[in-house]
Structure formats: C-alpha cells, structure tokens
Structure 1
C-alpha cells in the first residue's frame, strides 16, 4: 500500500467566511467552489477541503469530543480497493463510520475512525477533477 495524504478536510462553521479569508484575502485559487465545500490546491498532490460543518457531520458523523473536526483521506485505485481498505481497518480495530458508496463529487468513498478517534475517508476518485488530479500527482510523487 502506498502511503501518502491527498486531501485534508476541515469542518468549518462559516464556509463563506473561510472563502473570503483564503480566496479573497490570501489570493488562493479555488479549485472547486460549491455551496457547502471549497477545495484549495495547496501542493502538487494535496487539496485542502473547507467543508460546511453541518454537511460534514451529515456525511462523516459527529467528531469525537476534544478532537478537531477533520478527516484525512487515503485515495486508492478502485472502488473495490476502498472496500478492501475499510475491511482491513475494521479488522485492525477501527470503527467503520460509513461503508463505501457513490458520492456526489463523482467518486466512491467510505469512512472509518482510527483508534485515536480521527476520521479517515478511503476514496476512489476516478478520472479528472481536482481529486483525480491530486491522486495522479500523488502517485507520480510516490513512484519517485
């Protein structure tokens, strides 16, 4: 299994204020800007996702008390690999929050919570789009 992170998601109370700060204030370019999420490419293979907290909780679940409401995403090469990684995480003692399923952004993903309480998304982002491009860049980086 290749080990690298491609997406960091931060749940935010006011996505519009975060957009004003990063895009209007800092001049960062929005790679995706929709009602409840803003993607910012923050490296050749890394996307920062600023997600409306209500939408975050609806999909991922309520964050554990005392921990920051974030998810870390591990991208894999197929829908079947998403399910395999979720099965392996469950076998290793993780709690699966949500099984793999088709997502509005065009991919397939599921979630688990690691032993420290952090939420992980395991995702397959086929084709283009900002997530697919980040995955391709990450694979190129991992191959050296």
Structure 2
C-alpha cells in the first residue's frame, strides 16, 4: 500500500516537472519569436540567466493558474458562456503579467496583447503535455472515473 502511494506521488511529481520543463522551453521559444515579450535585461543576459528567468516565470504562471483558476471558475459561473470565452484569454494574460512581475530583477516584460498570446500558447502546451503524460497512467484514469461516479451520486442523492 505504501509503495503504491510513493509510486503515485513520484509519477505526479515527474508529470509536474515535465510540464514545468516544457512550459519553460515554450516561454523561451516565445521570447525568441515575439519581440514584445522579454525575458532578459535590456543589456542582455547569459543563456543560463535567461533560462532561469523562463523557469521562474513558467513556474509562477503555473502556480498562479493552479491556485487562481478554481476560484475564478466558481466565481464566473454566473457569466454567460460567450463572455466567459473572451474573458478567459484576458484573465490568463493577466496571470502571466503577474507572473512576469514576480521574476526577480524585473527581467520579464510583455505588452498586454502579447501576454494574452503567450499565456494562451503556454496553457495549450502545458495542457497537451499533461494529457499526454497521463494517457498511460492507470491511477489518473481511476481518479477520473471516481470523480465522475461521485458527481453522479451527488446528482441522484
């Protein structure tokens, strides 16, 4: 029993680290492609410093998304679906701007429009990576089935 718990925890940790690494690489690629998205000081930085900045920004964005989105989803249940679709992009871009401000030494910067694009791409890549890593994970499948069964029981009861 204890070995299974450690294995499950280890898999989850590996998934989180893999998503973080892919998000960091995505952020680095977007900083290279989009001129309005910056991960370096104005006089330039070493690749190591820029990679650290991207890792910091990706981690802060992921953590903010994990903490803020569940609260926002509950709060926005009263918002019509059409408005919510557009609002999601704005809120995700806002979270990215906050994450960039959390990077030490003010190395992260983006225009608001660019932040929306970067946040959308990073969210899509992180979601795809997480889904791909969970495809062959029996424990993730069981947890999903358990959640679905709990929802059905609550509706009936």
**When the two structures are superposed, what TM-score results if normalisation uses the length of structure 2?**
0.30
Higher strand share: 1
- Write 1 or 2 for the structure with the bigger share of helix: 2
Query: TM-score, length-normalised on structure 1?
Result: 0.32
